[in-house]
Chain A
Amino acid sequence: MATTRIQPKLDEKTQVLTITVNGAFDYDSVYAFRAAYEGHEVAPREVVVDLRQTEAIDSAALGMLLNMKRNLGLGDQQIRIINAPADVRRVLEIARFDKKFRIE
């Protein structure tokens, strides 16, 4: 398993921040995830978390997703979690994250 790579991409026009998580999104990578959404010159109005290449997820990562929502002051509809593979999606559903985020 390769190490986790987290890449933010902020579209300054639309203020949509896209964060892709490649590898395991877990305790060891949540600090990098925080860095990906913090400190942008333009505050994101919407965040898209692309989990297509996410191999696994744990509760620390789930906690970090909640923190991001709180810290950026975003509503339920302003964070989209997209392309989650079936295994990762199952964890999101167990944690009832489908009620707290838009999972597409």
Chain B
Amino acid sequence: MDILVVDDTPANRKLLARALAGWGYEVREAASGTEGIEACRQRMPDVVLMDIMMPGMNGMEAARFVRDLPGGKELSIIFITALKEGEGLVEALGSGGDDYITKPVALDVLQAKLKAHARIRELSRALAERNRLLAQHNRELRREQEIISHFFERAQEQNFLPPEMLRYRASSRTAFSGDLLLSRRRPGGGLYLMLGDFTGHGLSAAMGSLPVTETFSRMAHEGLPVGVIARELNRLLNASLPEEIFCAATLLELDATGEFLGCWAGGLPNGYARTPAGEMITLGSHHMPLGILGDGDFDETLETFKLPVGTRIYLMTDGITDARGTDGEAFGEARAAAVIAEAPRGSNVLEVLQREAAAYSGRSSARDDVAIVELECQALVPESDVLADMGRGTYPVSLHLRVSANDLADGGVIRRLIDMLGVMPIVFRRRAELHTVFAELLTNTIDHGLLARGRGRDYDDAEYFVDRESRLREIGDRHVDITVSLGREREHWLLEVSVEHDGDGRAVDLSLSDDEDAHGRGLLLLEALCEDVRIENQGRRTRVRYRFEGLTL
């Protein structure tokens, strides 16, 4: 510790300096107030022992100067005074002194005081360091928040719906909202909408919205059923977020005509639909929030509605329904529904709803994050660039699968084939039709080729399916070769499929087809979906060409 002794009397100064040096302190001396200030300016000591009564500038004046120097706030100033206790001491301490000691200086008292001040200095130094660190952390946190906010805004602002169809109001208690509103157009026309509310507030609540946005967007782009999207989000939240974080959400899927609505609702307050005629329909929230149930228990069942075009759908988070009145009762779904039902035509229902809930609770601002959405059901045709996009990322590819009769008995061959080819966007678009094509090809090949069953057999008896499986196992080492080749022909994409077996029978010939018989029906489907169906190699090989109509290069 570095101590400065300021005293105009050399004897006193030397006495103190010797004692201080003896205790191991670093000591400097100054013979006047002015000298003392100069010494402090050169290097700020930890403690100043300041005589009060000095000619020229006295100790109190010098102390005020020192305090105003850079770094002068932290040091300890101890006055040395001949004053009796009480006389002028208040003024002395008020002028910037931390303590005083009376003359003649009792050295043991001085030593004790210095130790105490050293401790205080150490504490205040630690505190200052901690404050500095805290300020630094705060700055870093604020900077991170700004960056993260930017992410969230980017994620949220990708609203692809026409503004006249979707309106919303949202307010958040903190910089980050636990609420999430996502909307995307369906590739085949129509739209998806999701309103979610993560448990908690702030960053921890908002954290989950990034992976949810990403997954929702990807699956919406693929045009998957909204129940399948809900299932995947549930799985994702279970896998990637801590247990206590989950997401109450309502997911909607509106078809291209704007009339058919599918709704998966878990954990949010009920949604409401108000038809142009004023009829109210409840979109009941029947499921558990996303991120709670395991995949096996998850229920992707939708509620489906046929609604007149122009129907307006309202979804809200519990920030609205949980608004507490003065009596402690919640605003509730019934009041929300009444506000929606009674709002005059053409009024801003969202604004009215938010105002009513706030007025009910007697607060100007909500206690929770609040989000309300209004969706007007209208026909929404696919955007033309969505169609142009479909060929992108698809390359010509050939694939050869050799599956045994045992594999066929196990099932799932078509599913895997579609999964493999489905990485090509153009195939994924048409996976439903291609599934049918592969299914008909395989069924014909298995039943009439591998198993050599007669025609006219229908799926009448329950034994049929068990029978097919057990008969396939009997000839388990026989094979079916499936060759698939995806390529371009002039401006079109084309998929050529050949299915060949090494069994005893012959695939049914098209010329024998009859749509009243199950197999005839299968071949009828093949003929309708494909442009060229051929049976070759004595009925062992069936070949088809599937053209991706409507999807040009």
Contacts and interface: CB of A to CB of B under 8 A. Distances in A.
Interface of A: 1-3, 7, 20, 22, 24, 26-28, 30-31, 34, 50, 52-53, 55-60, 62-64, 67, 82-83, 85-88, 90-91, 94-96
Given A26-B439, A52-B225, A83-B304, A90 B433 contact: yes
Given A1-B419, A2-B228, A50-B304, A94 B433 contact: no
Contacts of B225: 22, 52-53, 55, 85
B489 interface: no
Contacts, number: 116
Contacts of A27: 439, 442-443
Contacts of B381: none
A28 B411 contact: yes
Interface string B250-294: 000000000010100000000000000000000000000000000
B432 A56 contact: yes
B471 interface: no
Given A62-B521, A63-B518, A86-B188, A91 B436 contact: yes
B529 A94 contact: yes
Interface of B: 188, 225, 227-228, 231, 260, 262, 300-302, 304, 411-412, 414-415, 418-419, 422, 430-433, 435-436, 439-440, 442-443, 458-460, 462, 465-466, 515, 518-519, 521-522, 524-525, 528-529
Given A22-B227, A83-B304, A55 B435 contact: yes
B435 A56 contact: yes
17 contacts: A24-B415, A28-B412, A28-B415, A52-B225, A52-B304, A53-B228, A55-B225, A55-B431, A56-B432, A57-B436, A85-B225, A85-B432, A87-B430, A91-B433, A91-B436, A94-B529, A95-B515
B441 to A, nearest CB: 10
Main SS of chain B's interface residues? helix
Nearest to A82: B304
Contacts of B304: 50, 52, 82-83
B432 A55 contact: yes
Contact of A30 (B430, B465, B515, B525): B465
A2 B518 CA distance: 27
A2 B435 CA distance: 14
B418 to A, nearest CB: 6
Main SS of chain A's interface residues? mixed
A28 B521 CA distance: 17
B515 A96 contact: yes
The 6 closest A-B pairs by CB, nearest first: A56-B435, A87-B432, A58-B439, A59-B522, A63-B518, A28-B411
A41 B515 CA distance: 34
Contacts of A60: 439, 443, 459, 518, 522
A62 B516 CA distance: 11
A28 B432 CA distance: 15
Contacts of B260: 83
A58 B188 contact: no
Contacts of A95: 515, 521, 524-525
Contact of A56 (B436, B466, B519): B436
Contact of B528 (A1, A87, A94): A94
Contact of B440 (A1, A24, A59, A67): A59
Contacts of A50: 304
Given A28-B411, A95-B525, A22 B435 contact: no
A79 to B, nearest CB: 16
A63 B56 CA distance: 115
B458 A63 contact: yes
B462 A34 contact: yes
- Which of B435, B466, B528: most chain A CB closer than 10 A? B435
A59 B227 CA distance: 25
B519 A52 contact: no
Given A56-B436, A83-B262, A85-B225, 5 more contacts: A2-B231, A22-B300, A60-B443, A83-B304, A95-B524
B418 A63 contact: no
Contacts of B443: 27, 58-60
- Which of A20, A58, A94: most chain B CB closer than 10 A? A58
A30 B522 CA distance: 15
A1 B415 contact: yes
A87 B260 CA distance: 16
A59 B519 contact: yes
Contact of A31 (B227, B465, B524, B525): B465
A99 to B, nearest CB: 11
Nearest to B466: A31
